[in-house]
Amino acid sequence: MTLHGLFPLVWSGNLPFSPQKLDTPLSLVIDPPSAPGCKNLRRLNIFCSHLPSQVECAHFFLFTPILFLDISMRDNIARRPGFTLVELLVVIAIIGVLIALLLPAVQQAREAARRMQCNNNLKQLGLAFHNYHDTYGNLPPMYIQITPSVDNIGHWSWSAFILPFMEQGNTYDALSPNTQNPSDVIVANQQVFQNVNQPFRCPSAPGPDFHDPGVDPGYAISNSSGSGNYGLGLTNYVVSVNIANVRQKKATNLTQGTTGNIGPFYRDSNTGFRDFTDGLSNTFLVGERSWISGGVRMSAGTLYAVRDKDALGPSAQDSGNVYWNQGVMTIAGSVRYPMNVALTGANGERSMAFSSQHPGGCQFLFGDGSCHFISDTIDLSNDGAWTTNSTLERLVGMADGDVVGEF
pLDDT at residue 343, as a whole number = 60
* Final residue in a domain of this structure, among 37, 70, 93: 93
Amino acid at 336: R
| Pair (44, 148) in one structural domain | no
Q: 388 with 402: CB under 8 angstroms?
A: yes
Tally of structural domains, the chain? 2
Q: 67 with 4: CB under 8 angstroms?
A: no
| Pair (286, 142) in one structural domain | yes
In a domain, 247, yes or no: yes
pLDDT at residue 150, as a whole number = 63
Mean pLDDT, residues 22-30: 44
In a domain, 353, yes or no: yes
Amino acid at 186: I
* Final residue in a domain of this structure, among 93, 117, 141: 93
pLDDT at residue 328, as a whole number = 65
- pLDDT per residue as tens digits for the range 241-297: 755 444 433 333 444 434 344 678 887 888 999 999 999 999 999 999 988 765 666
Mean pLDDT, residues 310-316: 40
Against a cut of 0.75, is the pTM above it? no
pLDDT at residue 81, as a whole number = 67
| Pair (198, 317) in one structural domain | yes
Q: How sure is the predictor about 120, in pLDDT bands with cuts at 50, 70 and 90?
A: very high
pLDDT at residue 183, as a whole number = 87
| Pair (164, 287) in one structural domain | yes
- pLDDT per residue as tens digits for the range 366-407: 999 999 999 988 888 765 555 566 888 888 888 878 878 777
In a domain, 300, yes or no: yes
| Pair (201, 143) in one structural domain | yes
d(CA 307, CA 166): 24
| Pair (19, 145) in one structural domain | no
- pLDDT per residue as tens digits for the range 148-198: 666 557 789 999 999 999 999 999 999 999 888 898 898 899 999 999 899
pLDDT at 344 exceeding the cut of 50: yes
pLDDT at 351 exceeding the cut of 60: no
| Pair (215, 84) in one structural domain | no
| Pair (166, 264) in one structural domain | yes
- pLDDT per residue as tens digits for the range 34-48: 445 444 444 444 444
Q: Which domain holds residue 236?
A: 126-396
| Pair (69, 184) in one structural domain | no
Helix spans in 137-189 (H): 158-161, 169-175, 182-185
In a domain, 233, yes or no: yes
